[in-house]
Amino acid sequence: MGNIKNKILQGDKVIWIVYFLFIFISIVEVFSAMGKEIGGGSFLPLLLRHIIWLIIGFVCCFLFHRTDYRKITKILKVLLWFSIILTCVPYLQALFNHTTVSMARWIRINLGFYNLQFQPSEIAKYVTLFYICMIMANNQDHIEDKKVFYSLMIPLFIVCGIVFWSNFSTSVLIFITSFILMRIGGVRKKYLYTMLLCLVVFIGILLTIARYSPEFASKIGRLGTILARTEGHTRIDYRALTQTNLSLTAIATSGLIGRGIGNSIQSRFLDEAHNDFIFSIILEEGGILLGGFIILLYIILLYRMFKTARNIDGYFGSMACLSMGIIITLQTLINMSVAVGLIPVTGQTLPFISYGGTSFVFASIFLGITLNITKKVTDDKDETPITYNTSEQEDINQTQ
């Protein structure tokens, strides 16, 4: 028992293996995409920055997987309001700098030797989900009450409303994941579906007004951009030199084994080859085999999360694992759907693989918390009493 507790990497070993494979794939594919995409100047400083963020993300994951997840629940309410305040900061910076508020996604801090920037919505995304899990855990005996429903929906609408202004896809991602969690958690269906219907009608009205009033659309977050991308996606001109068409070209020329790592052609022309469209480059270079392998890794990660959620003795731990599994899966599906042209461009990264410090670090932090939850499951298994057959027990008694 002592040896198990002293292991460096604790918790679910399969999740750790998947995590390390994601880091390796990220380094290789970001290196390959950047080397072709960024012409003129050197891409090595950006690659080095990416590797540093990967190291920071791993360190955060390691530290949080060593921290009892039950301690984090005690400060979740503070973290929620802190993340809400942080999410408002980019809008304030945009107002003071007289820039477009609807494009304000980043907090930029000049440290002198380095210009730090991060997306606070990434923090709000995971904190909100874990907060919802905590509220449901604290009220599991009367989860169907209307008061509990309001205590869940108020913070959710605040976060989604703020994030919606500059990042529609992330607000939708938070809302859908929360809806699924509440549905699984036992919140009354009548409340959930009534709220969902009202929200869909409200957004539909906004989009309808925006379609016939561009001036109105320009004043309500990114409604104009959403509408333009949606309409553009419904009547695609495959002869146009668009990011989606370039992505489809990369996939169409991939084949079973692809062109080989480092031999991508379309990454020269894709603006976000190392980020939003990295799955296209993965398919182009590694073919169906590498793409299928990465999809399999995400399926394994989802399965292990669900397995822990089923086996752990604790409502919050179970729901937290579910929330991580669901949101990573949904974000993966969105990114891949954009790459293959099923939905309009959203700006969602491929979890743990795309270039970007904020998304990887905060995803790693909450994955570390999830790994700490899986540690409790593995510890419970290790503490299972050893049983002996009759002859073995007699031998032990004689020895004693």
What are 45-77's pLDDT values in tens digits?
Answer: 778 888 999 999 999 999 999 998 888 888 999
In a domain, 262, yes or no: yes
pLDDT at residue 394 is higher than 60: no
What gap in Å lies between CA 389 and CA 387, rounded to an integer?
7
Contacts of 381 (CB under 8 A, 6+ apart): none
Backbone angles phi, psi at 115, to 5 degrees: -95, 100
pLDDT at residue 4 is higher than 70: no
More confident residue, 362 or 111: 362
Domain span holding position 246: 2-380
- pLDDT bin (cut points 50, 70, 90) of residue 25 is very high
Query: What pLDDT is stored for residue 356 in this prediction?
Result: 75
Q: Which string of DSSP letters, residue by residue, matches 143-159?
A: TTSHHHHHHHHHHHHHH
Q: Which of 177-191, 213-227, 281-295, 354-368 comes out lowest in average pLDDT?
A: 213-227
Please tell me the total count of domains within the chain.
1
Extended strands (E) in the chain:
107-110, 115-118
More confident residue, 277 or 364: 364
Backbone angles phi, psi at 107, to 5 degrees: -100, 125
What percent of the chain lies above the pLDDT cut of 70? 82
Alpha-carbon distances of 54 from 8, 153, 171, 352, 382, rounded to whole Å: 19, 34, 25, 9, 32
pLDDT at residue 83 is higher than 50: yes
pLDDT at residue 151 is higher than 70: yes
In a domain, 218, yes or no: yes
In a domain, 388, yes or no: no
Contacts of 221 (CB under 8 A, 6+ apart): 102, 164, 165, 166, 168
Query: What pLDDT is stored for residue 329 in this prediction?
Result: 94
Averaged pLDDT for residues 77-89: 91
Query: What pLDDT is stored for residue 164 in this prediction?
Result: 84
What percent of the chain lies above the pLDDT cut of 90? 37
In a domain, 205, yes or no: yes
- pLDDT bin (cut points 50, 70, 90) of residue 399 is very low
In a domain, 109, yes or no: yes
Q: Which string of DSSP letters, residue by residue, matches 83-127?
A: HHHHHHHHHHHHHHHT--GGG---EEEE-SS-EEEE-HHHHHHHH
In a domain, 364, yes or no: yes
Q: DSSP label at 129?
A: H
- pLDDT bin (cut points 50, 70, 90) of residue 8 is confident
pLDDT at residue 178 is higher than 80: yes
Q: What is the pTM of this model?
A: 0.86
Torsion sign, CA atoms 16, 18, 23, 27: positive
What gap in Å lies between CA 318 and CA 308, rounded to an integer?
7
User: What crossing angle do the helices spanning 223-234 and 189-212 adopt, rounded to 10°?
Assistant: 80
pLDDT at residue 38 is higher than 60: no
pLDDT at residue 103 is higher than 90: no
Averaged pLDDT for residues 78-91: 90
Query: What pLDDT is stored for residue 398 in this prediction?
Result: 46
For residue range 216-241, what is the model confidence (pLDDT) as tens digits?
666 666 666 676 677 666 666 666 66
What gap in Å lies between CA 290 and CA 277, rounded to an integer?
15
pLDDT at residue 371 is higher than 90: yes
pLDDT at residue 162 is higher than 80: yes
Chain-centroid distance, C-alpha 105: 16
In a domain, 396, yes or no: no
Alpha-carbon distances of 226 from 119, 157, 195, 206, 214, rounded to whole Å: 20, 20, 22, 11, 12
In a domain, 391, yes or no: no
What gap in Å lies between CA 352 and CA 347, rounded to an integer?
15
Query: What pLDDT is stored for residue 386 in this prediction?
Result: 34
- Residue-averaged pLDDT of the chain: 82
CB 142, CB 127: distance < 8 Å? no
- pLDDT bin (cut points 50, 70, 90) of residue 152 is very high
